[in-house]
Structure 1
Amino acid sequence: MKSFNTAAVCVPSKHYMVDITKKVDEIRKMVDDGKYFTISRPRQYGKTTTLNQLKRVLDKDYTVLSLDFQSIDNDAFANGAFFSQAMARIVLDAYEFENVLIPEDTVDALKELNASEQDKVKMDDLFRIFKRWLTKSETSVVLIIDEVDSATNNQVFLDFLSQLRDGYISRDTKGIKTFQSVILAGVTDVKHLKSKIREDSNSKENSPWNIAADFTIDMSLSEEGIRAMLDEYEADHHTGMKPDVIAREIRDYTNGYPFLVSRICQIIDEHFVPEKFSSLSEAWTPDGVAQAAKAIISEDNTLFDSIMGKIRNMPGLRDELRQILMTGETIAHRPDDDDQKQLRMYGFIINDHNTVAVANKIFEMRLYNYFIGESRFSEEMRGDALDHKPEFIKNGELNVPLIMERFIETQKYIRNLNDEQAEKKFIEEEGREKFLTYLSPIINGVGTFSIEEQTRNRKRMDIVIHYNGKRYIIELKIWHGERYNEEGEKQVLGYLDYFGLSTGYMLSFNFNKNKKTGVEEIHIGDKLLFEGIV
């Protein structure tokens, strides 16, 4: 029986996985066209799995030399001689252990290079061996190198790229046979490696990898692909799930990030029965997906460790992310900003119509937890929320109107309502952060919340709370008059229809001195809205 896999390579015969045949075919086309390129994607984004399947496809028509720089010791990058001998060894390993077809004279030459005194070895000796092999080879040779990040901060790797570049140019200008295609894969793109290694400004502009073609193939997992994977799982397990519904939920949380997709499925399949659900039929539901997302944001794993470590070391960008999430600010996408480059490279932020956006809801939820935990309002809000928590939860359900009422009452006493500037600062900058900080300890341990990204701006923010298998929709907004309020009501009603709910909630932060605070019920058609004014 197959399983979901989140460690190392996914194998179609052993694991449930999204069919990536079309993506592999697109990459194959680049190889056939003789392109040299880099597959630069975040950690656990399916790079190695894709390369593994690509090799299987290419093996039918090419000799594929697939190497992994993680198998080279760091000491090998000390100079060109060490590196060339290390390369000779891993190529020999591919010949001996992976049955890569390499001519005997090439094998003998590589062995001789490896046995030579290091002060007599140069990198062009290695490439001269390659040239002789490639010239005689009846089949074209494709070079794939995974985990090129292992070469970080090494000048030797740039020299290696320069040799590959020279071969590529000589192929087109002199007709000298070289590698059909070279594929480098890793988190860090070669330009970033270059900028870290070279110190002088001129070198920063002269990349040895400027012959590389753009790699624009989308490696995220589509809703349709996830659904097909779930169809296969359902055929084996007969849980009664609705694959189309679950696929949409998973895609909504992950934006197709391969590790997160597989991890949600793995948690539901392996960890929820009987701890959280009595059967797989109950686990493979939207509530099960929400619970799995909640479990992921609480995990210690290398993916979050690397991302959060970067954010903690980037105070400027961290503050901008706080503004995006807490106040709805729009931060411009800056292609030349080093901090933004780093977080884009690690897959944490994306360019969304020339503005910065967090890459998916799970990353957002992790960030909200982080910002709420360090909020200057944390002690003030958490104490009151925890004191009244028993009143807010009855029979496993949230009493959202009471939560809003208590929050409104709390704010009356801790804000100076006679200070217009203080009131304006609360409305525009602090109100939403305070409410989220107030809400968090109430639902902690059982529920979680996410923000509908398309609604997050300086005027409004829609919160979707997942608690004990139920959803609650709360719109937080800044009051801009009755007309805008009516539009907000329509938007909440639209969300209620989408989620199949009959009750919704609105919490408005109102700067009008004559406002009437509190919560009131409003019936609109067959829907019930609770509207609160702060």
Structure 2
Amino acid sequence: MLPPEPRLPEARELIEEGLYFVLHAPRQTGKTTTLSSLARELTSEGRYLAIHFSCENARVAGDDYAAAEEMVLDAILDACGTLEVPPDCLPPSPWPDAVPGVRVQVALRAWARRSPRPLVLFFDEIDGLTGAGLVSVLSQLRNGYTTNSAVFPHSVALCGMRDVRDYKMASGGDPTGARSTSPFNIKAASLLLSDFTFGEVADLYGQHTKETGQEFEDQAVQRAFEASQGQPWLVNALARHITRHMRVPLSEPITDAHMDEAVERLILERATHLDSLVDRLEEPRVHRVIEPILAGTSLPLDERYNDDLSFARDLGLVSRGRPVQIANPIYQEVIVRVLSQGVETTIDADPRAFLLPDGRLDIPRLLTEFVAFWKANGEILDKRETYHEFACQLVFMAFLQRVVNGGGFIDREYAVGRDRVDIAVRKPHLDEQGRRAVQLSAFELKVRTDKSGDQVDKGLAQLDGYLDSLGLDTGTLIVFDRRGSAAPIVDRTSIGRSTSPSGRVITLIHA
């Protein structure tokens, strides 16, 4: 366990100033742990009464704002009942009578008058409130704060996945994300709980070493950070797979090979955390963001896209930096595998047939078999894929996944505006001396459209750069032709050779 409060240093300053603020971050990043710890510390210091409680139960209330108000007040009483709250600081029980629509405001004002300590309230899972219930609670907090803050909670934090700008949609506002008035426009700041840094990952894993004596090798920690980008749930899940499920003996150090296996296990397992993200892929707002990233095309130039991008970032699916890309390689791999699994089920190929005697992949056979599969099925598969801009690339990735099938590792590089997808396949095998070795193969995928022009020369130059970064002498360029005037797939698909600008011999597939 990492100390939670250093991850949110601004919160205490806002509380000291008596301000209302928002804390948001994707699910399972440590919001609840951080706020609960901060509440306990503030209360134990004796200056404030800080209560952390969840609005999750109010999810069922929806537009029934009277029920939503009652559930929120019940949650506060329940939280106080489980904590060591000084008797003179306890809220009134029962709460004072009030008509629906002002019950929260009246109750909190009565409590603030009664308590000798200033109240600090953390509304966790505020996303549980929707519709009129959300409008009612937020409006009462705003009204209580603006009319007489001296007899109202000193500081309030709303905690959930979304920033305050999206509350207008949760409350039944404009579903397109267009600008409108927020029902909580009194917030002083929106705090984002960030992912772990590399140093924090190393510290966390170092605690395991201190307790058990089992070391994480530097390369293993680096691999964990690269695969997870510090997403807290993923960081912990990887270590849990290694120590609990893979049961690496305590006498052995944890290596990058162990971490690679843990990454693959986590992707295949697709735990609840990952499935909850995958379920979002068909939402129009998420689709508009994810598809250009996967296809490497340019971003839509409209204001609605910016709101959609912020929404996808709040979900944790997309990184906050530039260029816009999937948040981390594990999410990236899960998304592609989910989108391609329908295609993969149609591929009748035995992975063992693509292995050479020494355990390496037979790349020429893999490409020959893919060309045959594309000729037979490409037309149908291309038209049926939901992520249409990415359909061609998805078919090749599904074929590759079926052939590699757990015996190797697929690394994919794509982001908005790259105009290509780069893929590296790592296949462990034993060399002539029986030592562990890795076969590395590179593929670049390009798409020719009515607007793009011929992509071969550009693709060869781009592939040169990719091969330079991998230290390889050769690779494969696949150009999918999606022009309206393109010949039928059977006629236009071929496999041959070409030469890159640096003189490399490249396998070139027109598809």
Q: TM-score range by the shorter chain?
A: 0.7 to 0.9
Equivalences for residues 25-104 of structure 1 within 5 A: 25-59=9-43, 60=45, 61-70=47-56, 74=60, 78-80=64-66, 82=67, 85-101=70-86, 103=88
Instruction: Count matched residues.
Output: 471
Letter in 2 for 1:185: C
Distance in 1 between the 2:55 and 2:20 partners? 18
Cα-to-partner distance string for 1:422-463 (whole Å, 9 max, x where unaligned)? xxxxxx977644432321111114334231346982245132
> Is 1:169 matched up with 2:140?
no
Residue 365 (structure 1) shift: 0.7
C-alpha contact 1:408 1:533 (8 A) present in aligned 2: no
Change (3 A) 1:450 1:30: farther
Distance in 2 between the 1:117 and 1:169 partners? 20
Distance in 2 between the 1:346 and 1:301 partners? 16
Residue 218 (structure 1) shift: 4.4
Distance in 2 between the 1:100 and 1:313 partners? 44
Change (3 A) 1:205 1:151: same
Letter in 2 for 1:303: H
Residue 93 (structure 1) shift: 3.6
Change (3 A) 1:246 1:29: farther
1:444 — aligned with what?
405
Distance in 1 between the 2:213 and 2:356 partners? 35
* Residue 140 (structure 1) aligned to one of 118, 125, 146: 118
Distance in 1 between the 2:98 and 2:416 partners? 65
Could you say what secondary structure the match of 1:103 adopts? helix
TM-score, normalised with respect to structure 2: 0.76
Distance in 2 between the 1:456 and 1:286 partners? 32
C-alpha contact 1:63 1:140 (8 A) present in aligned 2: yes
C-alpha contact 1:76 1:86 (8 A) present in aligned 2: no
* Range 92-101 or range 451-460, more displaced: 451-460
Distance in 2 between the 1:335 and 1:182 partners? 31
Change (3 A) 1:125 1:487: closer
Cα-to-partner distance string for 1:192-213 (whole Å, 9 max, x where unaligned)? 3433434689x98332311112
1:507 — aligned with what?
476
Residue 241 (structure 1) shift: 3.1
Residue 259 (structure 1) shift: 0.8
1:255 — aligned with what?
229
Residue 124 (structure 1) shift: 4.3
> Is 1:127 matched up with 2:108?
yes
> Is 1:220 matched up with 2:195?
yes
C-alpha contact 2:351 2:404 (8 A) present in aligned 1: no
Residue 310 (structure 1) shift: 2.4
Cα-to-partner distance string for 1:295-334 (whole Å, 9 max, x where unaligned)? 22222433233322222343x8537634532x32233486
Equivalences for residues 396-415 of structure 1 within 5 A: 396-404=359-367, 406-407=369-370
* Residue 347 (structure 1) aligned to one of 293, 296, 316: 316
* Range 438-447 or range 329-338, more displaced: 329-338
C-alpha contact 1:194 1:207 (8 A) present in aligned 2: yes
Distance in 2 between the 1:18 and 1:505 partners? 45
C-alpha contact 2:139 2:183 (8 A) present in aligned 1: yes
Distance in 2 between the 1:448 and 1:91 partners? 49
1:422 — aligned with what?
none
C-alpha contact 2:55 2:72 (8 A) present in aligned 1: no
* Structure 2: stretches of 5+ with no match in the other structure: 380-388, 430-435, 447-453, 482-490
Change (3 A) 1:454 1:430: closer
C-alpha contact 1:392 1:403 (8 A) present in aligned 2: no
Equivalences for residues 487-526 of structure 1 within 5 A: 488-496=463-471, 505-509=474-478, 517-518=495-496
Q: CA RMSD in A?
A: 4.3
Change (3 A) 1:176 1:28: closer
Change (3 A) 1:317 1:47: closer
> Is 1:369 matched up with 2:337?
yes
Percent identity of equivalent pairs: 20
Change (3 A) 1:398 1:281: farther
Change (3 A) 1:518 1:63: same
> Is 1:284 matched up with 2:254?
yes
C-alpha contact 1:19 1:229 (8 A) present in aligned 2: no
C-alpha contact 1:79 1:156 (8 A) present in aligned 2: yes
* Structure 1: stretches of 5+ with no match in the other structure: 1-16, 417-427, 497-502
Change (3 A) 1:79 1:414: closer
Residue 71 (structure 1) shift: 5.2
